[in-house]
A and B are shown apart, each in its own frame.
Chain A
Amino acid sequence: MRRKWMRFFLFLFLAILVLSVAVWGNRLAPWDPLETDFEAKLMPPGREHWMGTDNVGRDVFSRILCGARNSFALTFLIIALVSVLGTWIGMVSGYFGGPLDTVLMRVTDILLAFPDTVFAIAVVGMLGPGLKNTVTALSFVWWTKYARMARGLAGVIRTRDYIVQARFGGAGTLKILVCYVLPNIVPQVIIMAALDVGGMMLALAGLSFLGLASQPPAPEWGYMLYEGKSYMQTAPWIMIFAGLAIFVTVVVFNLLGDSLRDILDPKE
């Protein structure tokens, strides 16, 4: 039990570290992430530019620091959106059952039938590139798993004695949902959301890499990978550091989600 908590705190600490980079990255950055210097293009990592410069002479280190904020803000925004939306849809569906449940679950079936990233690419492709459309597309494909989980839990919970008693006690449907069903679903949702941070970050980076999400010149890790692609052999530092940033963040958040589940999972 203690090891579990130690693990959790270790990863929480690392996650907070990464997050604080995201929050204060703009102030920590030694250079303006948008400032170009055509003379200093493709400089290898050195004392002045710790991670080198990119193809128009922007400081890679500063761009990675500032890019963290964009990546995190979007990731958390989408996860907040899909977890709230998905949970409510699933909960309502599972609690009431019947035709409503059937319809909603067939809709999720349809959405789940597609590989999510490919589906998101298709949706962005139709809506046109841009951050707003990316958020829409990813939310559109991502909410289903939250709905599925909430629906499963709500279906079990609604037959429980305390729900029956609450109803006898005069509680309305909304009150039952909010006060008695939702609290029993939230821990699972939090675990799932924590585990999702890594995946969502990769999905976003993937879309940016394809040029569908963030638009230049905003520093964004996925897009930096894309920009660095042409220089893989001549200036590999552009890709390596952006890739490392994604890698470290995804690993930290996956492990954090993992240990969070170990602690929160009521069945343990």
Chain B
Amino acid sequence: MRENEGMMGEMRDRRRETGDMRSERNVRNKGNWRGVVLAVAVLLTAVFGGCGGSREPGGEDRNVGGERHVNVAFFWITADLDPAVDYHGWVTSRLGVGECLVKLNDRLEVEGCIADSWENVDDTTWRFHIRDGVVFSSGVKVTAQSCKDSLERAVAVNERGAEYLKIDSLEAEGQTLTVRTMEPNGALLNNLAEPVFIIVDTSQSDEVMRQNPVCTGPYVVASFASEQTVELVKNDRYWDGQPGLDSATVTQIVDGDARAMALQSGEIDITNTIDNTSVTLFTGNPDYNVSSIISPRVNVAYMNHAETSPLRDIQLRRAVSWAVNREAYAGLIGGSEAHGVYSDAAPFGNETVTGFGYDKVQAEAILDEAGYVDVDGDGYRENPDGSPLILRYLQAADHGSADSAILAAAVQSDLRDAGIHMEILAVENLSEYQTRGNFDFYTGNDNSAPTGDPQVWLETMYTGLGTWGKKNLTGFQSDRIDGIVEEMDRTFDMERRYELAAEASQVLNDDAASLFLTNSYLNMVSSAKVKHAVQPVADYYFITKDLTVE
């Protein structure tokens, strides 16, 4: 574009100029060659930009003095670290700064954390014992009262917090916290593991809460630059042993490829959520560790059930569901074929659920029977009333990954084979389009068991009780799902909850509610010197007390 600036400058000159075209010609000539040079430069950058190979570590290497330090890249650092605001707690939790009353293990079961025991007194009463010896990083002891204050704050600040707990009252006495809910809430225990409920010292000012929340985790924020970097130091007062690191620098790198390259260049020591193809650069390489798991996240294309969308017709939704080759998609982006709303990583009885496979013949038969036929001979089917059928697919990248774009292209191609015309609209910000109801599909890479419990997601996306942030935008409504959610409220036995989850999953599949594509996998890649870098199944954990360097 340099060239054009040159040209413009020249035009400005020309206003004044009357005669001497020769000198001007030189200017223009130069401008033109500059364009060529620029083109060469762009090409070379494009081609060789990534071939740097392993350079000396670009990041600060502080390990020389015996200090155990790592440079970490996150795909997201929030505007502030206040755990009660929006989803900021997820980052506070990933940083190893904040902890909740309970935590989830890799089988998504609840384990004690700040609370070491609990009992379900009756349908609406829970009693938690707060672990003795847990202190905030400021040195103040964590009591039932501090937990009460923290939870009350989360519920007051965050709508999601209020919906997750349905709290009537909290009572604190010594180390005993009694929780009373307005109605039976079978999901309460799991939901308390959600980072919005990080126990934080509420006596601190709002400013401290945003920049350096005082919590109980193994690390403490030393400095914080909004959406850029966080410097961590270890919390000497940590209740569960000595943290494995002295300090860490966490940087936000939004783009997945950039994260992979930063790892190769030595700029960072550990990151996660690297695209499938890039992971092959690290697997089998002794200089790196790769930890991959199937996550509770599902790559899904939500179908619009509203009157404005052709997809309100269940036959069309069913045909679309049969027409996509999920297994092949898993081969393209990694992960496994999705069977329903819940990922195979969640213990919600997916093995009993029958979903859609890839069956083009069946898809075509359904379309033919429902009257979607190609009347004008353009290779695409029309609506039964003869009007053109074009489905709009909103695609946005999640976590700086190229996966959603690949899925969009693949779905489009499969639907084209079945004679369905689908247009992809790659957008930066989904919500701008969603609120207008102006879509037939929109993509998500969503954690359908954010608290290891099936209820929250069902309630959020498939009933009218939508919570803040993510909500039911597709107009989906099913009495059976509403009934299951109600029953889940009253069901405290985990086995039974899982059965209900499987039933709900089947209802959603029978209704072809959404296009569940793949169970996405998560990975954590680290340089060989980093030890105990394991990708947890619940992806709001990242930096743990065990993470260390040699």
Which residues of chain A have a CB within 8 Å of any CB of chain B? 34-36, 38-39, 41-42, 55-56, 112, 115-117, 128-130, 144-145, 148-149, 151-152, 156, 192, 195, 198-199, 202-203, 206, 211, 215-217, 225, 227, 229-236, 239-240, 243-244, 246-247, 250-251, 254-255, 257-258, 261, 265, 267
Contact = CB atoms under 8 A, between A and B. Distances in A.
B14 interface: yes
Interface stretch (B41-49, B192-200, B362-370): B41-49
B11 A152 contact: yes
B410 A38 contact: yes
A117 B36 CA distance: 17
A227 B544 CA distance: 35
A215 B426 contact: yes
A102 B367 CA distance: 62
B402 interface: yes
B325 A233 contact: no
Closest 4 CB pairs of A and B: A267-B21, A38-B328, A148-B11, A232-B50
A236 B277 CA distance: 12
Nearest to A267: B21
Interface string B26-59: 0011001001101110110011011100000000
B331 interface: yes
Contacts of A34: 413, 416
A8 to B, nearest CB: 15
Given A129-B426, A216-B424, 6 more contacts: A38-B410, A148-B11, A151-B15, A233-B50, A233-B281, A243-B42
B1 A117 contact: yes
A251 B281 CA distance: 34
Contacts of B35: 198-199, 250, 254
B332 A38 contact: yes
A250 B36 contact: yes
19 contacts: A39-B328, A41-B331, A55-B332, A56-B413, A112-B12, A116-B1, A151-B15, A195-B3, A195-B28, A195-B32, A199-B35, A203-B1, A217-B412, A227-B402, A230-B257, A231-B277, A235-B277, A247-B40, A267-B21
B20 to A, nearest CB: 9
Contacts of B46: 225, 239, 243
A168 to B, nearest CB: 24
A246 B12 contact: no
A130 B402 CA distance: 19
Contact of B47 (A156, A215, A239): A239
Contacts of A116: 1, 4-5
Nearest to A55: B406
Contacts of A39: 328
Nearest to A35: B413
B442 to A, nearest CB: 15
Nearest to A210: B428
B7 interface: yes
B403 to A, nearest CB: 9
Contact of A217 (B49, B50, B402, B413): B413
Contact of A233 (B278, B331, B402, B423): B278
B409 A230 contact: no
Contacts of A115: 1, 5
Contacts of B7: 145, 192, 195
B18 interface: yes
Contact of A216 (B51, B405, B428): B405
Given A56-B413, A149-B11, A38 B278 contact: no
Contact of B39 (A152, A198, A232): A198
Contact of A251 (B36, B51, B278, B332): B36
A148 B15 contact: yes
A254 B8 contact: no
Given A239-B46, A243-B46, A254-B32, A232 B412 contact: no
B410 to A, nearest CB: 5
